[in-house]
Amino acid sequence: MRNAVITGWGKCVPPAVLSNADLETVTETSDEWIVTRTGIRERRISHVETSDMAAVAGLRALATAGLEPDDIDLILVATCTPDRLIPSTAAIVQDKIGAGRAAAMDLNAACSGFIFGLVTARQMIGAGGFERVLLIGAEKLHYFLDFTDRSTSVLFGDGAGAVVLEGSDEDAGVRSFELGTDGSVADILCVPRSGTEGAPGPDRRMVVHMEGAEVFRRAVAAMGDASTRVIEEAGLELDDIDLLIPHQANIRIIEATARRLRLHPSKVFVNIASYGNTSAATIPIALTEAIDEGRITPGSNIVFAAFGGGLTWAAAVYRWGSRIEPLGSSDADLPPSDASGLELMQPNIDLYGMGVQ
Ligand SMILES: CC(C)(COP(=O)(O)OP(=O)(O)OC[C@H]1O[C@@H](n2cnc3c(N)ncnc32)[C@H](O)[C@@H]1OP(=O)(O)O)[C@@H](O)C(=O)NCCC(=O)NCCS
């Protein structure tokens, strides 16, 4: 099968910061509790829609690949927080970036969405018919948070990351992968009544519901075990792995996963302190920052690992190609905004603080 290699990468995080100190003003929590229990110091709150962040990340990824929007055959947007149910966020992005030749569709595997998308793109390029795929992970999670619920509101943030995958004869790309789902425990991480279930009405509460401890336990096991299996399947030893880029949900989950894998902390990429959990966007944002920080070099063996609502889990071994330098840069950006994180989340406080059930 033809290889599919990452030739472009980019991220877009909105400017408004919501700090732990800000959260202390709206729910009974503390900076100390959040930092020690999760590793998160701040997160971003978006003043625009998911598709806006996705489009900017996508244009930045296209620029590093030296491509124009018209070069793209397929846009895949991994998201569980689409602008609308119809059309797909990918279709909105297609219009916003002017990629008129591309087919476009969304993919929802919650926080595992980027790796599900990576495998989907690789299979579609490998099977033929698609040559260049723009894969974006983008989320506006704050829309689905009750900021008075301290057990969920401190964990999540907004943002987007993107990669371009191109068909290639280079000895690079996805070496092995595992995608998994256990729908029987879907209720431990979900947004009830966010679709067709339940009676319609103006007061429908649509917020993240989570059984944190159970999700934690399953996340460590699923990410650690799937990573071990994909490394073995790729015919690699632990010493061959240059970098683990895990989904950023909780620093303690990341550390426990690395311990389970017996991987030295220096080989684990962590940026959760700055963004919290941005679901399908954490891995492409982290990948972009890892490249910017020189943590990836030609031929690097990278392990991606994630888990999320579904429950889903995913892991992949990816061998980097020969080019790490961007071919170009983009001046695409979000419209400016002076609103603070606290101001942007006020509508949620007004709604859910009133006890909307
Ligand atoms: C949510 C999570 C951080 C909670 O951490 P924990 O160490 O399990 O904490 P617990 O739920 O046992 O709560 C311990 C205490 O802290 C309290 N607490 C919970 N959230 C708090 C907060 N934000 N601030 C202060 N106290 C908090 C609890 O009420 C509890 O108090 P109690 O002992 O008086 O009942 C952790 O379970 C987690 O990260 N789970 C996975 C979540 C996740 O990754 N979800 C996304 C998946 S993609």
pLDDT at 200: 73
What average pLDDT does this structure show over 101-124?
98
pLDDT tens digit string along 147-189?
989 999 999 999 999 999 999 999 999 999 999 999 999 999 9
CA distance 139 to 127: 29
CA distance 53 to 232: 36
What is the band of 225 on the pLDDT scale with cuts at 50, 70, 90? very high
User: Which CA distances in Å does 187 have to 58, 81, 193, 245, 306?
Assistant: 32, 18, 12, 27, 18
pLDDT tens digit string along 256-276?
999 999 999 999 999 999 999
Tell me the CA–centroid distance for residue 70 and ligand 1, in Å: 46
What average pLDDT does this structure show over 219-244?
96
CA distance 107 to 123: 15
What is the band of 203 on the pLDDT scale with cuts at 50, 70, 90? low
Catalytic residue among 3, 111, 142, 348: 111
Mean predicted lDDT score pLDDT of the chain: 96
pLDDT at 51: 98
Beta strands in 63-127 (DSSP E): 74-78, 103-107
**By alpha-carbon position, which residue is closest to atom 23 of ligand 1?**
150
pLDDT at 96: 98
**% of the chain exceeding 70 in pLDDT:** 98
Block residue for tokens 């070496």: 175
> Which amino acid is present at 204?
R
What average pLDDT does this structure show over 304-324?
98
Quick one: CA torsion of 52, 57, 63, 66, rounded to 10 degrees?
-110
pLDDT at 205: 80
Tell me the CA–centroid distance for residue 208 and ligand 1, in Å: 14
Domain 1-357, CATH 3.30.420.40 — does that match?
A: no
Q: Respond yes or no: is residue 247 known to be catalytic.
A: yes
Task: Say which range, 18-32, 126-140, 192-206, has the weakest mean pLDDT.
Answer: 192-206
What average pLDDT does this structure show over 219-245?
97
If 0-12 CB within 10 Å is exposed, 13-18 middle and 19+ buried, where does residue 322 land?
exposed
Q: Tell whether the model's pLDDT for residue 117 goes beyond 60.
A: yes
Q: Tell whether the model's pLDDT for residue 201 goes beyond 90.
A: no
Q: Respond yes or no: is residue 47 known to be catalytic.
A: no
Tell me the CA–centroid distance for residue 77 and ligand 1, in Å: 30
pLDDT at 52: 98
Residue 37 — φ and ψ, nearest 5°?
Answer: -85, -20
CA distance 252 to 35: 10
pLDDT at 355: 52
Length of the chain: 357
Q: List the one residue out of 159, 136, 170 whose CA is nearest residue 9.
A: 136
pLDDT at 349: 86
pLDDT at 351: 83
Q: Tell whether the model's pLDDT for residue 139 goes beyond 80.
A: yes
What is the pTM assigned to this prediction?
Answer: 0.97
**Domain boundaries along the sequence of the chain:** 1-357
Q: Tell whether the model's pLDDT for residue 119 goes beyond 70.
A: yes
Residues 65, 68, 70, 71: is their CA dihedral positive or negative? negative
- Please check whether residue 109 is in contact with residue 314, taking contact to mean a CB–CB distance below 8 angstroms: yes
Block residue for tokens 């792995």: 241
Catalytic residue among 20, 80, 108, 247: 247
Ligand 1 is surrounded, with C-beta below 6 A, by: 29, 33-34, 37-38, 111, 150-151, 154-155, 189, 210, 212-213, 215-216, 219, 249-250, 253, 277, 308
Q: Tell whether the model's pLDDT for residue 354 goes beyond 70.
A: no
**By alpha-carbon position, which residue is closest to atom 24 of ligand 1?**
29
Say which residues have a Cβ less than 8 Å from residue 136's Cβ, sequence separation at least 6. Answer: 54, 57, 58, 61, 75, 76, 77, 78, 90, 93, 160, 161, 162, 284
